[in-house]
Structure 1
Amino acid sequence: MSLTQRSAVVRRLIVSPGAAPQEPAPAVATAAGVSAVLRAFGRSPRDLPARTVVLLGTAAADPGIGPEHEGFAVRTSSTPGRALRAAHRELHTADADFALVAGFGEPDAQTITVYAVKRAAEAVAEGDTVIGLLDLDDGPADEDTAPPLRPLHTGPSGTDPDRHRLLLWSGRTADEEQEVRGALLPLLSGVHRESFPVLPTTTPTGTAPGPVRGAAVTVSALASRAVHQARTSDASHPRPVALLFPGQGSQHAGMAAGLYRRDPVFTAAVDAALSHMGEEASRIRADWLDPARAAIGIDDVRRAQPLLFAVDYALGCLVLSWGVRPTAFLGHSAGELVAAVFAGVVSLKDAAHMVQARVREAVKIPAGGMLAVAAGEEQLLPYLTQDVGIAAVNANQQVMLAGSKEPLAEVAARLKADGHTVVTVPATSPFHSPAMAPASDAVETAYRGIPLREPKRPLYSGYTGTLMRPDEARSPRFWARQITDTVYFRKALDELLAADDVLLVEAGPRQTLTAFARRHRSVRLGAGAVTPLLPARTGTPEADRQSVLTAAARIWTEGHDLDLAAVSRLWTWSEPDPLDPSESRAPRARAEVQPA
């Protein structure tokens, strides 16, 4: 059964309110107790998601406890079992993104068990340690009894010797690296192809990686040659990583589909993002995975924006699952909403609803499109009409125009007649043009009910060209006007690369932002660098995995240590049933199950 229908316990703590009295009495839920629950895991309440609910499972509650405490909703159930079941319902049918459940009198009269509960797909996508999944199907029928926790298995379900995999090695000096490589080559020459996938990811094993590093992405038959020909890198001064998220125009049929059901974090993240899109989710997924039979084409806004949102988000989660901690985020157009999720501005669920609002209003606007023009912004000003505007300034001599269909076609003809290079961008809606003004006004109304917070991590905005200010992040109008406003990606990239020399990682399809970044002076001079996660064009599922592994290799040779167990799942994992009894009996690695 899909993880999107499950709830996961990601933290659990048993506490005692104090020394046991001589005559034991059940612990009573009080306002002070609710405050303690909000801080049970050592975090300030302001660090909790905006849509956090506190559920008290107790037979003895102080009548002074209100429906809200410290800005968070509070619910009371008669028993811990009922509170846990209520948490599941709140997460999957109401507006909660996170639940803190306090079981008073559990496991005995003088203790309180506090559970942190999330939607299971999001817990896996966001890298939480899952203690267990609430088993609401096979657990006790008595709702007063707490449902049991079943382990979540995300270990290898089988190895395919023909999949590409990653080989990493290092040394403290160049000579030591050569020695390590020399010892690795005979091993690869003699290993049986069936054993190739289970070889250790790093050499030497059991020691800290050295600063002189090599990496190869290869299949068994080519492993020796790949390792022999690989270049080494000095990783003694790694540049921090910044994630780039592309927007509409980058999409293509089947983008990143080769990673779906082949990596647990990517799969869970796509499912989590789509799960917030209602009945349309299954149709979006079906059109994505079987583009030859798609009911709606990928360039239609009804497919392009929801799928780009899900894929960009899933790729970002994948990189974070490797242990990489980006220092900044920058999104292009619709990609800015994905960046906002990672920066803590908006929850995944609310961001998905914001995307849906954009789509819902965009389809009401007459058909239009976008053009990429090899020219500067000033050169294009004479060509603009009331309906056609500058959609994006992406790089020197790379500007996008947008507008309604006929006026845009007229502008394209004039530009070509004057000798400009013009390329049609795959889009059916005139985003970032005056034609979208009615849609902007409508989505602003929809956004007013969404909790928006100031960024917790550096977030560069393509609409201001600089770091997003707290007041901008919290403004429904700021997000709504992105439908009509120009994207100043080049300026935002200038600001990001001026702040530090970084390794840019494009978490999205087609390598559009990678191409823009490679033209930047910082990257051309070697101060900064850029690597894409996905191929530049549609290819085989294996090409998707090979490309992602190549990016992981680039991050490793830059000097960032990786969670090797997480990376290796790209060649050792395929989607199992998370609660299949036969799966749980199979010998495999699995998510850590922590004791209370």
Structure 2
Amino acid sequence: MTAADITPGAARLLRWAGADPAGERAARARVADALRAGARPPRPVPGPLRGAVVTTAARALDDLAAAPVRRVPPGGPRPVALLLPGQGSQHHGMATGLYREEPVFRAAVDQVLEAWESEGEAIRADWFAARAEAAVPIDDARRAQPLLFAVDYGLGRLLLSWGVTPTEVLGHSAGEVVAAALAGVFTVTEAVAVVRGRVRAAAAVPPGGMLAVSASPDELAPYLSGQVAVAAVNAVRRTMLAGPSDELAAVAARLARDGMTLRPVAATSPFHSPAMEPAVAAAERAFDARPRPARFPVRSGYTGRPLTAREAGSARFWARQLADTVHFGPALAALLDGGDRLLVECGPGRVLSSLALRQPAVGAGGARS
């Protein structure tokens, strides 16, 4: 990549390494010389002293000069695991600046929106529209789900283009479909078809919502009634509830009266609750994919295990995710049991990063988020 290949604000990754302090300084100088000449920075020669910085063309020289260097431990750099968020992480205008400035991200997002065919331009228009002018609000599943997929996938493709090869990927709810697409289990067209089928099926379900509560599932059990259920177990005493609007509001009022800490999640559908059962059959009928072997493991947030070939090809497995509980916390704990990991949230916001910080392995310093 040369300076002419990117727009002035586009994100880029610079890397260099050296065998000792003098070698590191010389390698950093060679990168600076290439930037001044508008040439491609040299590929780093492996060495224990390494530096890296994400920057832009306008700031590259300053950021390069100020970037710290670190010594890689004898075992090599930490393996990277990507965390891909789902419904609730979306926000108005998310990543639109990155779309304008970063060609790799933009190309990946365009690929996703093109796979939505006639709906793609309406999704794009609402993404860039002023909040009051969007035809469909961002928290509606018809916008949140496609745009979260596009942003998560675009960020994943950007990281891969920088040479980051994850040892594992873990998605939360709809993020699991993105994880499968990044790993090559599904093509983008197939993954979008899975999301489209689920969104259309969910649209037929009466309105509902989701609620984050600082309590364990056992503590919340006495409050559950009707179709309100545990939607996600995200971390220790970090649980989400979901259900139809009126029933969920009644449960929220009881929790508040009893002094529970809670907040609504940005959703207009009761995902991961019994209220979504009518949508499961429709989503199952809409499934049309021919999965391929994964390029890197996809850990399911529903089973806690790496995705199997049988699950990947099961229409029932993907459709059931609309109504089944997400076990992100236990799945992340199982991922961290596999050894030291650098956790990278690959989506808008820091929802999954904040949940990861509640994991004992992260808090003890055995992994970083």
Does 2:142 align with 1:289?
Answer: no
1: CA distance, partners of 2:250 / 2:2: 54
User: Greater helix share, 1 or 2?
Assistant: 2
1:382 aligns with: 222
1:171 aligns with: 18
Q: Is the CA contact (8 Å cut-off) linking 2:141 and 2:269 kept in structure 1?
A: yes
Q: Which runs of structure 2 are paired with 1:330-341 in the superposition (5 Å)? A: 330-341=170-181
| Letter in structure 1 aligned against 2:168 | A
Q: Is the CA contact (8 Å cut-off) linking 1:239 and 1:502 kept in structure 2?
A: yes
Out of 160, 167, 177, the residue aligned to residue 320 of structure 1 is 160
Does 2:347 align with 1:508?
Answer: yes
Q: Which runs of structure 2 are paired with 1:8-19 in the superposition (5 Å)? A: none
2: CA distance, partners of 1:462 / 1:386: 25
Shift of the 265–178 alpha-carbon distance from structure 1 to 2, 3 Å rule, reads closer
Q: Is the CA contact (8 Å cut-off) linking 1:452 and 1:475 kept in structure 2?
A: no
2: CA distance, partners of 1:400 / 1:345: 28
Shift of the 485–197 alpha-carbon distance from structure 1 to 2, 3 Å rule, reads farther
Out of 407, 411, 418, the residue aligned to residue 258 of structure 2 is 418
1:156 aligns with: 4
Q: Is the CA contact (8 Å cut-off) linking 1:455 and 1:473 kept in structure 2?
A: no
1: CA distance, partners of 2:175 / 2:160: 17
Shift of the 358–198 alpha-carbon distance from structure 1 to 2, 3 Å rule, reads farther
1:397 aligns with: 237
| Bigger-Rg structure (1/2) | 1
Q: Is the CA contact (8 Å cut-off) linking 1:165 and 1:197 kept in structure 2?
A: no
Q: Which runs of structure 2 are paired with 1:40-79 in the superposition (5 Å)? A: none
Q: Which runs of structure 2 are paired with 1:349-360 in the superposition (5 Å)? A: 349-360=189-200
2:79 aligns with: 240
Name which of structure 1's ranges 498-507 and 381-390 shifts more when overlaid on structure 2: 498-507
Using the TM superposition, give the Cα deviation of residue 265 of structure 1 relative to its aligned residue in structure 2, in angstroms: 2.3
2:115 aligns with: 276
Does 2:364 align with 1:525?
Answer: yes
Q: Which runs of structure 2 are paired with 1:71-470 in the superposition (5 Å)? A: 156=4, 160=8, 168-174=15-21, 176-177=23-24, 205=42, 208-217=45-54, 230-236=67-73, 237-292=76-131, 293-447=133-287, 449-453=288-292, 455=294, 457-470=296-309
| Letter in structure 2 aligned against 1:404 | P
Shift of the 487–232 alpha-carbon distance from structure 1 to 2, 3 Å rule, reads same
Using the TM superposition, give the Cα deviation of residue 468 of structure 1 relative to its aligned residue in structure 2, in angstroms: 2.0
Shift of the 356–213 alpha-carbon distance from structure 1 to 2, 3 Å rule, reads same
Shift of the 275–265 alpha-carbon distance from structure 1 to 2, 3 Å rule, reads same
| CA-to-aligned-CA distance 1:319-364 (integer Å, 9 cap, x gap) | 1112222221111000111111233332221211111111111111
Shift of the 337–197 alpha-carbon distance from structure 1 to 2, 3 Å rule, reads farther
2: CA distance, partners of 1:346 / 1:157: 30
Using the TM superposition, give the Cα deviation of residue 438 of structure 1 relative to its aligned residue in structure 2, in angstroms: 0.1
1: CA distance, partners of 2:111 / 2:21: 44
Does 2:315 align with 1:473?
Answer: no
2: CA distance, partners of 1:167 / 1:346: 31
SS at match of 1:323: coil
Q: Is the CA contact (8 Å cut-off) linking 1:333 and 1:462 kept in structure 2?
A: yes
TM-score, scaled relative to structure 2: 0.89
SS at match of 1:361: helix
1:552 aligns with: none
SS at match of 1:403: strand
Using the TM superposition, give the Cα deviation of residue 523 of structure 1 relative to its aligned residue in structure 2, in angstroms: 1.9
| CA-to-aligned-CA distance 1:413-457 (integer Å, 9 cap, x gap) | 11111111101110000000000000012111222x433456453
| CA-to-aligned-CA distance 1:284-304 (integer Å, 9 cap, x gap) | 011112234321111011100
Q: Which consecutive residues of structure 1, in runs of 5 or more, have no partner in the other structure? A: 1-152, 189-194, 531-596
Shift of the 169–490 alpha-carbon distance from structure 1 to 2, 3 Å rule, reads same
Using the TM superposition, give the Cα deviation of residue 177 of structure 1 relative to its aligned residue in structure 2, in angstroms: 3.5
| Letter in structure 2 aligned against 1:421 | T
2: CA distance, partners of 1:260 / 1:254: 10
Using the TM superposition, give the Cα deviation of residue 169 of structure 1 relative to its aligned residue in structure 2, in angstroms: 4.1
2: CA distance, partners of 1:196 / 1:427: 45
SS at match of 2:82: strand
2: CA distance, partners of 1:220 / 1:273: 27
Provide the alpha-carbon RMSD of the alignment: 2.9
2: CA distance, partners of 1:459 / 1:220: 34
Shift of the 172–416 alpha-carbon distance from structure 1 to 2, 3 Å rule, reads same
Q: Which consecutive residues of structure 2, in runs of 5 or more, have no partner in the other structure? A: none
2: CA distance, partners of 1:351 / 1:318: 18
Identity %: 51
